[in-house]
Structure 1
């Protein structure tokens, strides 16, 4: 355990919701536990950075309880719209919430798992995670954190020694268990389940829990909750766009009410500003395409409003939802200015610059990552001509929030093309070579430091 107990501040607030919100479960007994990724930066924020490797594997591979927190793992219950079709048969099917604690900012954090075994909600699944899926989630969460997207953090990835059969990748394939650090695991779908059951008392209790524990506010006002969630999810949508990120599965059970992105499956980073670019091969209609993500997240927020209707009149809920568009515009402007390394000027000029950048990226097909790398600090290289003229002219009015002194700016942009992701996995699958993976994580951290 940590040598500084004051840095580790355990909690068990989830238990206050009562037994109707979760199912106690037991973790799978894995054949082995081989530590593959350990996020000491995240661990330091919750007082767990001093764990030895044996202790780490015991807690995050064997799920030996951490002191002072949840008595046992809890698989959360929820419903959700999946590609706009309502599914009442959901819940944590291959994961659970294992522990809660406060971080160095005072926030209540959850340790949740992926691939930790079967639960009552596994249906026909084996409750496992492929090692490739775990590697992809680490890369996604590290990249998003560096690019300023509010995201869960991959705390630990442990290989577990099982051979898994999967229809969408060569099988048998290796297995793993992931632990993610998140500001809550309450989804929009958690509220939908209670509304579906006409459990008004449960809805009010969950509203109070989220306001108190995740927003540090008193009361159980559903309109206030929706207002906060709309603001956070508008910010999330904006940050996705500025990062060029496509989540792929923006179902209501994948939207955290804290506005923190999580659960990375078929994700991709768009290489160009292509609104129709999709990440999931099964998203045949492009419902969650790059350019439709703000619409999709707004739609998800609408489902939260519907779920809260038993607690509030429709007019104030509609008014809260109507704030999404304006908040999104403000947030995407701020996000793109941040990625350009520029201090805001004034609202009108800022929005005009962002519109010019989006237009030029779309018209020229320029690489998203290359453009933001080249233009960081407000100086556009000479090679950007034609449609970039208006952008160049507007950039002249801005001052940088940070210079280009960091060594990162003397190299090439850190990006995440899908071919590189596959090459990183191929090195692991073929030769058990983790060097490209660790090198990529280091490069992402260097980019994050340069952007911060």
Structure 2
């Protein structure tokens, strides 16, 4: 068990909501548990990095309760819009929340699962996760963390010894259970369910829980909550764009109220600045394409406003919702300046630089990762000819926020395109060789160190 009680700070605040918000469940009894990935950097922030591998597997593969937190796993209830179609038959179908604790900064954190077995909300699903899906989630969360995107983190991946059949990858395929560290699993869809059931008391209770535990604010004002969520989700949308990331499934049950990205299925990083680039093969209309993600997230937040309308007047909710665009614009400007490695000057000059950068990326076809690597610190190489003249001139007036002395800048840009994901998975599938995965995680973290303040 954690040997530093001053760091391990267990909580069980989810129980304050009461039985109507979740269902107690039992984890699957897996044939085996083979530890494949443990994120000790994240674990240290919640005081569980001192667990031995056997203890780790017992808690994160067999789900023996951690001390003084939730006594058993809880499958959360929620609804949501999926590709803009309302679905009241959702809820945690292959995961649950099984522990809460404070991190080193005092934030309330959830430990949630993916692939931990069936729940009352599984419908026809088997409640399992493919090993490849777990590997992909490791790569997504590590890359997003390095690129300054608010994201869940993959704490653990354990192979579970089952053979799964899936329609979208060669079957049978290997199985796994994943544990993610998240600043809450309360979704927009959590509020939608209560509104659908006309549970006004439940809505007020969830508003108060969210403000108190996730925003450190007193009271239960729905308008204040919406205002906070608008700000956080505008930031998330902006940082997706600066990272060149496409989530793939921005349904309202996949947007949590802290504006922290999570649940990575058909994600991709866009190779070039192509607004029409999509991640999900089934997104035939491009609803969640790269360039439409701010619109998609705004639409989801609108559904939160619709749900809250049951307990407050519409006018102040509309006023709060209308701030999404005005908040998104400065957020995307700052996110791109951060990736360019330069310090802000003034709003008009910053906006002109960002708009010129987006235009040049879109028309030139230069790779997103390549450009930001070459331009970091504000000096664009001479090899960037038209249409980069305006960007080079604008950058010359900016001060770097960090120099290029880190060893990362002497190599090549770290990226995570689909071919690289497949190249990391192939040796695992063919030879059970995890070396490329661990090497890539190390390379991503090295990039993160070079980019960080």
TM-score (norm 1): 1.00
- Quote the residue 1:411 is aligned against: 411
Unaligned runs of 5+ in 1: none
How far did residue 417 of structure 1 move? Answer: 1.0
Instruction: Provide the rounded CA distance (Å) in 2 between the counterparts of 1:3 and 1:321.
Output: 46
- Quote the residue 2:381 is aligned against: 381
- Tell me the secondary structure at the aligned position of residue 161 of structure 2: strand
How far did residue 230 of structure 1 move? Answer: 0.3
How far did residue 2 of structure 1 move? Answer: 1.1
Instruction: Provide the rounded CA distance (Å) in 2 between the counterparts of 1:10 and 1:278.
Output: 40
Q: What's the Cα RMSD here?
A: 0.4
- Tell me the secondary structure at the aligned position of residue 387 of structure 1: coil
Instruction: Provide the rounded CA distance (Å) in 2 between the counterparts of 1:450 and 1:277.
Output: 28
- Quote the residue 1:209 is aligned against: 209
- Quote the residue 1:320 is aligned against: 320
Matched, 1:88 2:88: yes
Pairs aligned (count)? 452
Q: How does 1:273-422 map to 2 (within 5 A)?
A: 273-422=273-422
Matched, 1:172 2:178: no
Instruction: Provide the rounded CA distance (Å) in 1 between the counterparts of 2:7 and 2:106.
Output: 11
- Tell me the secondary structure at the aligned position of residue 422 of structure 2: helix
Matched, 1:45 2:45: yes
Q: C-alpha offsets along residues 185-212 of structure 1, whole Å, 9 cap, x if unaligned?
A: 0000000000000000000000000000
- Quote the residue 2:33 is aligned against: 33
Q: C-alpha offsets along residues 342-390 of structure 1, whole Å, 9 cap, x if unaligned?
A: 1100000000000000000001011000000000000000010111000
Instruction: Provide the rounded CA distance (Å) in 2 between the counterparts of 1:395 and 1:268.
Output: 29
How far did residue 310 of structure 1 move? Answer: 1.1
Instruction: Provide the rounded CA distance (Å) in 2 between the counterparts of 1:327 and 1:352.
Output: 17
How far did residue 5 of structure 1 move? Answer: 1.2
Instruction: Provide the rounded CA distance (Å) in 2 between the counterparts of 1:105 and 1:390.
Output: 42
Instruction: Provide the rounded CA distance (Å) in 1 between the counterparts of 2:282 and 2:215.
Output: 35
How far did residue 448 of structure 1 move? Answer: 0.3
Matched, 1:249 2:261: no
- Tell me the secondary structure at the aligned position of residue 177 of structure 1: strand
- Quote the residue 1:4 is aligned against: 4
Q: C-alpha offsets along residues 198-249 of structure 1, whole Å, 9 cap, x if unaligned?
A: 0000000000000000000000000000000000000000000000000000
- Quote the residue 2:232 is aligned against: 232
Matched, 1:425 2:425: yes
Q: C-alpha offsets along residues 120-160 of structure 1, whole Å, 9 cap, x if unaligned?
A: 00000000000000000000000000000000000000000
Instruction: Provide the rounded CA distance (Å) in 2 between the counterparts of 1:113 and 1:363.
Output: 42
Instruction: Provide the rounded CA distance (Å) in 1 between the counterparts of 2:432 and 2:448.
Output: 27
Instruction: Provide the rounded CA distance (Å) in 2 between the counterparts of 1:326 and 1:104.
Output: 32
Instruction: Provide the rounded CA distance (Å) in 1 between the counterparts of 2:122 and 2:2.
Output: 34
- Quote the residue 1:222 is aligned against: 222
How far did residue 312 of structure 1 move? Answer: 1.2
Residues 306-315 or 85-94, more deviating: 306-315
How far did residue 6 of structure 1 move? Answer: 1.2
Instruction: Provide the rounded CA distance (Å) in 1 between the counterparts of 2:201 and 2:391.
Output: 53
How far did residue 260 of structure 1 move? Answer: 0.1
Instruction: Provide the rounded CA distance (Å) in 1 between the counterparts of 2:307 and 2:145.
Output: 30
- Quote the residue 1:117 is aligned against: 117
Instruction: Provide the rounded CA distance (Å) in 1 between the counterparts of 2:4 and 2:14.
Output: 25
- Quote the residue 1:193 is aligned against: 193
- Tell me the secondary structure at the aligned position of residue 429 of structure 1: helix
Q: C-alpha offsets along residues 263-286 of structure 1, whole Å, 9 cap, x if unaligned?
A: 000000000000000000000000
- Quote the residue 2:163 is aligned against: 163
- The structure 1 segments of at least 4 consecutive aligned residues displaced by more than 2 Å after TM superposition are none
- Quote the residue 2:23 is aligned against: 23
How far did residue 43 of structure 1 move? Answer: 0.2
- Tell me the secondary structure at the aligned position of residue 310 of structure 2: helix
Instruction: Provide the rounded CA distance (Å) in 2 between the counterparts of 1:381 and 1:157.
Output: 41
- Tell me the secondary structure at the aligned position of residue 110 of structure 2: strand
- Tell me the secondary structure at the aligned position of residue 335 of structure 1: helix
Matched, 1:134 2:158: no
Instruction: Provide the rounded CA distance (Å) in 1 between the counterparts of 2:400 and 2:116.
Output: 46
Instruction: Provide the rounded CA distance (Å) in 1 between the counterparts of 2:436 and 2:2.
Output: 31
- Quote the residue 1:149 is aligned against: 149
- Quote the residue 2:73 is aligned against: 73
How far did residue 118 of structure 1 move? Answer: 0.2
Instruction: Provide the rounded CA distance (Å) in 2 between the counterparts of 1:302 and 1:365.
Output: 34
Q: C-alpha offsets along residues 17-65 of structure 1, whole Å, 9 cap, x if unaligned?
A: 0000000000000011111100001000000010000000000000000
- Tell me the secondary structure at the aligned position of residue 37 of structure 2: strand
Unaligned runs of 5+ in 2: none
How far did residue 311 of structure 1 move? Answer: 1.4
Instruction: Provide the rounded CA distance (Å) in 2 between the counterparts of 1:423 and 1:127.
Output: 27
- Tell me the secondary structure at the aligned position of residue 124 of structure 2: coil
Instruction: Provide the rounded CA distance (Å) in 1 between the counterparts of 2:229 and 2:68.
Output: 30
